[in-house]
Amino acid sequence: MSDPKDWADDDREPVYRDDDEASWRGDRTVNDEISKLVEQRRLEHHMVASLQQLRKILGRTQNDVAQTWGRPQSQVSRLESDPLHAELATILAYIQALGGRLTVEAEISGRVYTVDLAEAS
């Protein structure tokens, strides 16, 4: 067997996994697997049009969220009807009451930056 430091110069045939014909050296099947993983990750990120839609997708009522949040149902209703005028801390608490984490994503000069507000506070 060759010296481990010479692995990049290895001229042996590609090693195939037992469960399929995929090679880790650029075989089309590996690229297909990566494409599937990327698509799966994309599908895990749901876009919602409103906080109300998010709450409903999660199967929660305004009363339920209000109880978890420790606020009156009317405050949940106000926030859902006009989130752009709410303080960020209020939206953070609402998302936490839904059992989630709030992150902010900003695109600046073609680069995307994400801030986890739960950790920033």
Q: Are 56 and 38 members of one domain?
A: no
- Look up tokens 């990120």; give the residue: 45
For residue 1, is it within any domain?
A: no
Q: Are 42 and 95 members of one domain?
A: no
pTM of the model: 0.60
117/89 Cα distance (integer angstroms): 9
Total number of domains in the chain: 2
Residue 98 φ/ψ, nearest 5 degrees: -80, -5
Position 65 confidence tier, pLDDT thresholds 50, 70, 90: very high
- Convert the pLDDT of each residue in 90-103 to its tens digit: 999 999 999 999 98
Q: Are 28 and 55 members of one domain?
A: no
CATH code for the domain of 64 = 1.10.260.40
